[in-house]
């Protein structure tokens, strides 16, 4: 039996005779296996470049886009839909290649959709609507197990230049009941796997909108996706729209995009999302601005601990940031590790009148013999 198995895959048998290998397109097992190829053959294959619906964010394949309710996910979907349908821009300055878009707005009505389009498009005349012919909208659609997948496939076939399909939201599209023998992970995985397969087969980007849990991991935003890891496991890309005390952030991770951690802001005047920059850069700028404000308001040198208390930063973060700012001249460092706003550096802090409370360490000013301490207890 071992000899027969070895011969079947092209190994020499005991007599040193190599049995012919499978033909490239020969079926194996139950017929579901794909042809076997070598690494050498793979290296010689040529592939079309990856198509991006929204360069840097949404590539062909399936993107799971999740965020808290009422955070602006549908505004984002309408924005990218309009950008692709018109060959315009989104997220501030991201240019999109024109193509047909199908938007399954399954939680909206016609009035709401019209209102969003008019606000986003800043429409001044109905005649301008003619350029929006490539954005196709629908508010009711069969579920995945009721012909919904086949209907999307049919639309893609009927529109050779289709670039994007938006399913908003997953809960209104996926099959209602899971299989009897399925685990929750398997049910979630299969909920979007058929859509993912359709996206890969057709080269069209499919965005599936979903919700995040009210409470999730503070260290990994991707663990906030409602449901099991089966959803993000089946998706080619997962993008999380998250908001905290510092503002809104796009977190993205996928097979065909660079990892994303971008600070974004919703512009209420235009109803569009705008990219502010990398989170690390934007937050650093915000922190430095807060530090300068605190130092200016204090009017006297402050310790890193006092700065942290005034700005809400962690002590170590405040200490490191102050040190970096001092090196490039954004703040002025005094003795005993205290820092001051650069506008105050011309005056001698030893002649300032400092208010000392119970929490103040008088030794901070001990080296200033001329300092007048107004001690309040």
- Same domain (yes/no): 19, 76: no
Whether 274 is in a domain gets the answer no
C-alpha pair distances (Å), 182 with each of 93, 187, 195, 225, 230: 44, 6, 19, 20, 12
Handedness of CA 222, 226, 231, 233 (dihedral sign): positive
Whether 60 is in a domain gets the answer yes
- Same domain (yes/no): 226, 330: no
Each residue's pLDDT tens digit, 129-144: 778 999 999 999 999 9
d(CA 275, CA 285): 15
Whether 222 is in a domain gets the answer yes
- Same domain (yes/no): 355, 228: no
Starting at the edge strand found earlier in the chain, the sheet holding 272-278 runs 135-138, 100-105, 162-168, 205-211, 61-67, 237-244, 247-254, 260-267, 272-278
Which of 264, 254, 188 lies closest to 222, judged by CA?
254
What phi and psi, each to the nearest 5 degrees, are found at residue 366? Answer: -65, -30
- Residue 366: the pLDDT is 42
- Residue 245: the pLDDT is 76
Q: What is the pTM of this model?
A: 0.72
- Same domain (yes/no): 56, 31: no
Both tokens assigned to 255: 């097979």
* CA dihedral of 51, 55, 57, 62, whole degrees rounded to 10: -20
Each residue's pLDDT tens digit, 172-197: 999 887 667 788 889 889 889 999 99
**Angle (nearest 5°) at CA 320 between 315 and 326:** 125
Instruction: Give me the CATH number covering residue 180.
Output: 3.40.50.300
Whether 272 is in a domain gets the answer no
d(CA 60, CA 62): 7
How many domains are there within the chain? Answer: 3
Domain end: 267, 301, 324, which one? 267
Whether 137 is in a domain gets the answer yes
d(CA 346, CA 368): 16
- Same domain (yes/no): 58, 39: no
- Same domain (yes/no): 57, 178: yes
What phi and psi, each to the nearest 5 degrees, are found at residue 345? Answer: -70, -20
Rounded (10°) angle between helices 279-298 and 315-327: 90
- Same domain (yes/no): 102, 226: yes
Rounded (10°) angle between helices 110-121 and 73-86: 60
Domain extent at residue 311: 283-375
- Residue 128: the pLDDT is 63
- Same domain (yes/no): 59, 113: yes
Whether 275 is in a domain gets the answer no
Strand partners, 102: 136, 165
Domain end: 267, 294, 312, which one? 267
- Same domain (yes/no): 65, 178: yes
In this structure, the chain runs to a length of 377
Whether 26 is in a domain gets the answer yes
- Same domain (yes/no): 95, 134: yes
Compute CA 317 distance to the chain's CA centroid, rounded to the nearest angstrom: 25
- Same domain (yes/no): 233, 138: yes
- Residue 28: the pLDDT is 61
- Residue 27: the pLDDT is 54
- Same domain (yes/no): 248, 312: no
Phi-psi region of 342 (alpha: psi -120 to 50; beta: other; left: phi over 0): alpha
Whether 276 is in a domain gets the answer no
- Tell me the H-state helices in the chain: 2-8, 39-44, 73-86, 110-121, 148-158, 184-202, 230-234, 279-298, 304-311, 315-327
Residues in the chain, pLDDT under 70:
1-31, 123-128, 178-179, 215-218, 345-377
């Amino acid at each position: 039996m071992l000899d027969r198995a070895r011969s079947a895959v092209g190994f020499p048998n005991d007599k040193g005779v190599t049995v012919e290998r499978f033909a490239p397109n020969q079926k194996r097992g139950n017929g579901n296996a794909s042809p076997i190829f070598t690494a050498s053959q793979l290296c010689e294959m040529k592939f079309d470049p990856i198509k991006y619906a929204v360069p840097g964010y949404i590539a062909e394949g399936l993107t799971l886009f999740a965020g808290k309710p009422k955070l602006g996910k549908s505004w984002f979907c309408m924005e990218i839909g309009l950008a692709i349908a018109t060959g315009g821009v989104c997220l501030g300055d991201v240019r999109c290649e024109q193509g047909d878009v199908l938007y399954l707005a399954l939680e909206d009505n016609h009035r709401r959709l019209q209102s969003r389009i008019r606000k986003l498009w800043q429409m001044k005349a109905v005649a301008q609507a003619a350029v929006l012919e490539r954005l196709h909208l629908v508010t009711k659609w069969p579920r995945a197990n009721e012909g919904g997948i086949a209907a999307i496939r049919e639309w893609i076939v009927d529109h050779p230049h289709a670039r994007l399909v938006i399913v908003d939201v997953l809960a209104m599209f996926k099959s209602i009941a899971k299989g009897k023998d399925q685990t929750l992970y398997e049910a979630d995985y299969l909920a979007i796997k058929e859509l993912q397969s359709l996206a890969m087969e057709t080269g069209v980007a499919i965005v599936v909108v979903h919700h995040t849990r009210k409470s999730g991991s503070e260290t990994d935003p991707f663990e906030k996706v409602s449901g099991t890891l089966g959803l993000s496991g089946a998706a080619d890309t997962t993008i999380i729209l998250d908001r905290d005390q510092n503002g809104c952030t796009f977190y993205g991770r996928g097979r065909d995009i660079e990892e994303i951690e971008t600070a974004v802001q919703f512009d209420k005047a235009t109803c569009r999302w705008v990219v502010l920059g990398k989170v690390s850069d934007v937050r650093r700028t915000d922190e430095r601005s807060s530090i300068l404000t605190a130092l200016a308001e204090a009017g006297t040198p402050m310790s890193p601990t006092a700065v942290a208390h005034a700005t809400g930063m962690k002590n170590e973060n405040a200490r490191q940031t102050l040190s970096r700012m001092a090196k490039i001249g954004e703040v002025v460092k005094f003795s005993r590790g205290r820092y001051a706003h650069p506008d105050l550096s011309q005056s001698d802090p030893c002649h300032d009148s400092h208010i000392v409370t119970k929490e103040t360490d008088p030794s901070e000013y001990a080296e200033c013999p001329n300092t007048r301490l107004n001690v309040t207890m």
